[in-house]
Amino acid sequence: MQFIGETGLSLCHMLLLDWIIWRLVNPSGDASVFLYIQ
C-alpha cells in the first residue's frame, strides 16, 4: 500500500516537473498544447 502511494506521488512529481519545464520553455503554449493533443 505504501509502495503504491510513493509510486503515485513520484509520478505526480514527474508530471508537475514536466509541466513546469514546459511552461518555462513555452510560456504561451497553452493553446498549442490543446491543438497538439487533439
Q: Looking at residue 23, what is its pLDDT?
A: 79
Q: Domain residue spans in the chain?
A: 2-37
Q: Looking at residue 31, what is its pLDDT?
A: 58
- Going residue by residue through the chain (38 aa), what tens digit of pLDDT does each one get? 577 778 888 888 888 888 888 878 777 766 566 666 65
Q: Looking at residue 32, what is its pLDDT?
A: 63
Q: Looking at residue 35, what is its pLDDT?
A: 63
Max CA separation in the chain (angstroms): 39
Cα–Cα distance measured from residue 37 to residue 23, given in angstroms and rounded to the nearest whole number: 16
